[in-house]
Structure 1
Amino acid sequence: MPVHRPGTIRRRLTALSVTLLAALSLTLPLTSAQAATTPARGSAHMGMGVLAHDGRSGTPSTGDATQTEGVDVSSYQGNVAWSTLWNSGVRWAYTKATEGTYYTNPYFTQQYNGSYDVGMIRGAYHFATPDTTSGATQANYFVDHGGGWSKDGKTLPGALDIEWNPYGASCYGKSQSAMVSWIADFLNTYKARTGRDAVIYTATSWWTECTGNYGGFASANPLWIARYASTVGTLPAGWGFYTMWQYTSSGPTVGDHDKFNGALDRVQALANG
């Protein structure tokens, strides 16, 4: 009969305890502290990660080329006062339509149609979660739930919001090459469904970290850069200019305000394809 020394028994019991605790952690509900720091799925919105990594507010420097004011909204803003925004000079808007394949914005109709009804040029965006389903699956979900495009002169192509993961690892557990492949899958499917190249919304620091600063989408996909500062700073590789710039999360009426890099006729040109 083998003899077990006390030290050996203690080590085995300790290892067993660690294993049991790990198993229990997978099934036990979150503590109140954990719940308070982990946002609910579906609550993500444009710039949510930018707030944590790039400040809160920017004031664009004067002397820029003509810029056209816009806003982006999600369920976070609820019912939006579109007339107030129109009267303040806002002429275009993007509304969150979907996230992953598990969420649609309950305020989408009020926000998407409301901006259109006051005369704005509007579009829809999708918050990407590359760790849940494929790019193609999410592109189809987006198009099927408000993210399509029509050549009516007032509808912008859909936007892919690809930024820091609010629910976990910044790059969603993907390597840089796998992230590029996921984005390409989304973009190719969106174009096949709508005939338009989607806009890419991102931040330079995230793009550099999570795609290796890949420049292969710049020739076809307009860039919507997020940076809360007086200038856009360095752009991701490949893009020589931005099409849109989210410069603050603390603007008037609704928080997220943006500049379109051109006069209103350039916004109309993007809508018309």
Structure 2
Amino acid sequence: MDQSDEIVLVGCGNMGFALLEGWVGRAGIPAGRVHVVEPAEALRSRAVAVGAIVYADAADLPQALLPRAVIVAVKPQIVGTMLGAYRRFSGTAAFVSIAAGVPISNFEATLGDSAIVRAMPNMPASIGLGVIAAFANTHTGDVQLAYVTDLLAAVGNVHWLAEERLVDAATAISGSGPAYLFHFIECLTGAGIAVGLPAETAHALAKQTVSGAAALAMTSAFSPAELRQQVTSPNGTTAAALEVLMAEPGLADLVKRAATAAHHRALELAMPA
């Protein structure tokens, strides 16, 4: 069996399944080259539907298997108890963890001098529009780094970080960030209802406004600040609203405090080596 052709995916929950669908649907990886280890029958069934080879336990993996990558997509609390079952792949495979809060040192304690990547994808990865912040240890070579980048890019844009501690900082922005935007849509919907719009119309306008503005920010040569200024006519309706949002303390302070709280919680949840 060619070591370069095989992937082991440990866990097929929401993010694991998003990766599987991205590999098969967008990266062109044959589903039969992905070996999924998942104890939950319902989650195994959806991996089977995609065409992956599935197992209920790591002990069921073929002895001759030599995967190029082992993706750890399980709950952080069980990483320590399950990782030993994959130690036999540590000499050749790159290990990629998307278990939030688990430092690379925890993996190194079990796997030794192996290539290990810690990654933090966010929820839009489920539709291929995710943001993935990642950090690789010093045992990860350039070829492995390029391969892991391709695997993660199947679900979004990959941003490599210079220090592992920045993964927790990125969690506060891109990891938790979608929830901030979802709540803003809720708030904008509520504001629409408050000024007299029907609930259904307010909801549609809020979602489409946020979606369109985000798409424009992604494609425009102008900065977000410049785009804001282009929308804002002197003494106009937008200026009146921004006087409220940009007052001190305003939205910028609120978002900064929210992200700081998320960052502090990420540090608290980090599991010691």
Q: One fold, TM greater than 0.5? A: no
When normalised by structure 1's length, the TM-score is: 0.32
